[in-house]
Amino acid sequence: MFDGDYALLTFATEATDGGAASDALMHRTIVANSRMMRTIPRSLAGIGFDLVWSRGYLVADIGRMDFWAPGITSFRVLLPKASAMSETKAGAFNDSLERASAESRFFRPATSTPPSRNGAIRQQDQEPGLWQPDCAARL
């Protein structure tokens, strides 16, 4: 199972709202369900599975873009294609994020739950010890 808690998707921008409007736009445009990962423990229990263990990671670019640079570059194309912003606005949005990175003012955090070794589930009627750590990735 691999996913992220996209409700945390946020950019610190120079907008008067600090980026709240662009964050909401991103949530509506590129994420199907930004709070999905928060429902996983309850959802698993509801369909007869136990969450045996899990591990999440915080990925944060603070100051300069690194991990998020390719995704942010894609916004120039994706946001206009999704009719979320005009090409001009998407370009200006990207320019502002790239400028913030160049000036060590960039901020973009996220959490993720990578596949395989970072979580396991088992059917509730399954005997302990029979599950494998990568079973969640095979569901």
Residue 109, pLDDT score: 79
pLDDT of 130 above 60: no
pLDDT of 94 above 50: yes
Phi, psi of 121 (to 5 degrees): -130, 160
Kindly list the domain boundaries of the chain, sorted by start residue.
Answer: 3-138
Taking the C-alpha atoms of residue 46 and residue 69, their distance in angstroms, rounded to an integer, is: 38
Residue 135, pLDDT score: 42
> What confidence category does residue 123 fall into, taking pLDDT thresholds of 50, 70 and 90?
low
- The Cβ of residue 115 has, within 10 Å, a number of other Cβ atoms equal to 14
Q: What is the dihedral of CA 23, 57, 49, 125, to 10 degrees?
A: -170
Tell me the pLDDT of the chain averaged across its residues. Answer: 75
